[in-house]
Chains A and B, each alone.
Chain A
Amino acid sequence: QKEVEQDPGPLSVPEGAIVSLNCTYSNSAFQYFMWYRQYSRKGPELLMYTYSSGNKEDGRFTAQVDKSSKYISLFIRDSQPSDSATYLCAGSDSWGKLQFGAGTQVVVTP
């Protein structure tokens, strides 16, 4: 069983809609929780991270972590076609070893 589970999608939404992405994880040792964004034919890039439980907001993006239920979420408000990408969630233990989900492909249609 993978330590981080993520629905691969694809998730298709109209421009301006809210995109909601979720992951579950099983490793209680995770301290950092990350969302990476990967455009086609590119390597992933860090979008946001949170330390332990709680919310973090950055512009149109909000990341949430609920350690009690081992649930990681990313919300994208006012989605744009340029948000079309694959979004990967990840958890990291204190040693900094990352475990990634499979990635969810998001398509925002104009």
Chain B
Amino acid sequence: DVKVTQSSRYLVKRTGEKVFLECVQDMDHENMFWYRQDPGLGLRLIYFSYDVKMKEKGDIPEGYSVSREKKERFSLILESASTNQTSMYLCASRYSGRPYEQYFGPGTRLTVT
């Protein structure tokens, strides 16, 4: 079974803090993704990575950055957390030859106060 794990299920941070969200996948997938999920808006793509050290902006990259130094690990960084970044964050990975099949982690519920 493919497993995508995220470092925390719940996280509470203060405005202005630097926040790191970690994601690890165990299936040697080339592609990895970070989404946020908000009620009524669905899943929105923040950043994705086609391979190690490669990154592409998604639909809502402002206020976020990413790092992919190893194939299995993809990190999302909130440089200076703000209250409008309170959300559910989902990481996903995918084999590049199957563009329709993303495997998601359980999500991190981030609250910024």
By a beta-carbon cutoff of 8 Å, the part of chain A in contact with chain B is: 2, 4, 6, 8, 32, 34, 41-46, 49, 51, 88, 92, 94-98, 100-103
What's the minimum C-beta distance from B73 to chain A, rounded to whole angstroms?
A: 17
* Distance, CA A61 to CA B49, complexed state (A): 32
Q: Which residue of chain B has the shortest Cβ distance to A94 in the bound complex?
A: B99
By a beta-carbon cutoff of 8 Å, the part of chain B in contact with chain A is: 4, 31, 39-45, 48, 90, 92, 94, 96, 99-107
Additional A-B contact list (15), CB under 8 Å, known A43-B107, A94-B99, A102-B40: A4-B42, A8-B40, A32-B99, A42-B106, A42-B107, A43-B4, A43-B92, A44-B43, A45-B104, A88-B43, A98-B45, A98-B102, A100-B42, A100-B44, A103-B42
Say yes or no: B100 contacts A49, CB within 8 Å: yes
- List B contacts of A44 (CB < 8 A): 43, 90, 102, 104
- List A contacts of B96 (CB < 8 A): 96
Q: Which residue of chain A has the shortest Cβ distance to B99 in the bound complex?
A: A96
- List B contacts of A101 (CB < 8 A): 42
* Distance, CA A45 to CA B100, complexed state (A): 11
Which of B42, B45, B100, B106 sits near A102, CB closer than 8 Å? B42
* Distance, CA A31 to CA B94, complexed state (A): 17
A43-B90, A43-B106 known; A102+B101 contact, CB < 8 A = no
